[in-house]
Structure 1
């Protein structure tokens, strides 16, 4: 899961980002509303954590612009403790949840897991299911029946993306934006290498799930039944 955190308290934001990364989330940080909005409009984030009090553009205005431009990623608003009016305005403007500062990181992680479960029916108790495989994005374990194998973080993120968009062909460009970020130096061969590694692990599990290459377009997941 790729998370954008827009928070002007840099020390706190960096501390939260480290916790997210230790729990196998990809975390990008921005420290003002304008930059946060620009990043959010890229559409590459699964969840956006958005402080209300931001320089250049406040969080509620950022949220309204995101929703106005069709960005449906769940948004967790960070509010000052006791500011009921901010919470109400945020929820009315399209926020999915809120946390009052200061907050415990365990509570933030629980909120992220809850939003992930709410976002797609493919997820049950944090587990993503497709065909006869199950992926736990938090432990990086991929299971098929009684067999299991540990993925790298990027392999897990790639498979998570393919499962969540299982009916869509995903281009290499979209994969790079989602896994590495829109301003990353990653190239097509980075995607090809991770697809190759992931294919080998799916084969080791004898899963029946495969990653199909659509020449000139990208990749899509298939099951054995779909290939018949």
Structure 2
């Protein structure tokens, strides 16, 4: 999973990014609304954390711009503005959730996971594919009831496939879910990650669809 954090407070954005990366998320950070708006419109993210009081372009304008362009990216507004009118304006602009500063980072992570789950079309926190189970809210994978130990990159690929099980996921999309904006990506890195996952959950569960991408299935 890949998250966009748009926050002009450097200390806060660093804290959020560290916490998200510790939970295996890929994270891109923008310090102003102009850069954030561009990243949200041109890169592929699972969700965005958006401050309202941003330099260059305010957060509400960023959100309105995305929605006007048909961008369905789930957005959690993170702000110190706690007036009811501010919340109404945020939701009318297309926000999916609203968290007031100060806040607990763990609550932010739980809310983001819930946004990603709902946007993927899953009603339950637990998504299953044969003997493989993914607890979206906790971020845990189990196979036959036993924990599956994954690296951050493996977790990102498997979570993307799991949330779209029985659907072919484009190779480019998977790469976008794994690596951050300025990462140096080897040409065969995704194949290496998929190979390691096959050894952990079973070779037959992840199929290569030539010329398209990968399919996670229990069939």
**Greater radius of gyration (CA):** 1
Cα RMSD after superposing both structures: 2.2
User: Is structure 2 residue 94 aligned with structure 1 residue 94?
Assistant: yes
Query: 1:189 deviation in Å?
Result: 0.6
Q: Taking structure 1 as reference, are residues 142 and 26 closer, same or farther at Cα in structure 2, changes over 3 Å only?
A: same
Q: Name structure 2 gaps, 5 residues minimum.
A: none
Distance (whole Å) between structure 1 residues aligned to residue 196 and residue 164 of structure 2: 20
Q: Is the 8 A contact 2:40 2:66 kept in 1?
A: yes
Deviation of 1:172 (Å):
2.6
* Counterpart position of 1:20: 20
Question: How much does 1:198 deviate?
Answer: 0.4
SS at 1:186's partner residue? coil
Partner of 2:113: 113
Whether 1:38 aligns to 2:14 is no
Q: CA distance change for structure 1 residues 11 and 163 in 2, over 3 Å: closer, same or farther?
A: same
SS at match of 1:128: strand
2:200 aligned with 1:201, yes or no? Answer: yes
TM-score relative to the length of structure 1: 0.86
Residue of structure 2 in register with 1:68 after alignment: 68
Structure 1: 5+ residue stretches without partners: none
Determine which structure has greater relative contact order: mean sequence separation of CA pairs < 8 Å that are 6+ residues apart, divided by chain length.
Answer: 2
CA–CA distance in structure 2, aligned partners of residues 137 and 96 of structure 1: 18
Q: Distance in 1 between matches of 2:44 and 2:82?
A: 32
Query: What TM-score, normalized to structure 2?
Result: 0.89
Deviation at 1:47, TM superposition (A): 1.2
| Residue 180 (structure 1) aligns with | 179
* Change in CA separation of 1:99 and 1:134 when aligned onto 2, cut-off 3 Å: same
Q: Which residue of structure 2 aligns with residue 83 of structure 1? A: 83
Residues 176 and 187 of structure 1 are in contact (CA less than 8 Å); yes or no, is this contact kept in structure 2?
Answer: no
- Report matched runs for 1:114-153 at 5 Å: 114-122=114-122, 124-125=124-125, 127-136=126-135, 141-153=140-152
User: In structure 2, the residue corresponding to 1:188 is in which secondary structure?
Assistant: coil
d(CA) in 1 for partners of 2:101, 2:80: 5
Task: Say which SS state the counterpart of residue 167 (structure 2) adopts.
Answer: coil
- Give the drift of 1:167: 4.2
Cα distance in 2 between the residues matched to 1:182 and 1:70: 22
**Cα shift at 1:213:** 1.0
The SS at the match of 2:185 is coil
Residues 114 and 175 (structure 1), Cα distance of their counterparts in 2 relative to 1, 3 Å cut: closer
Alpha-carbon contact 2:50-2:76 (below 8 Å) kept = yes
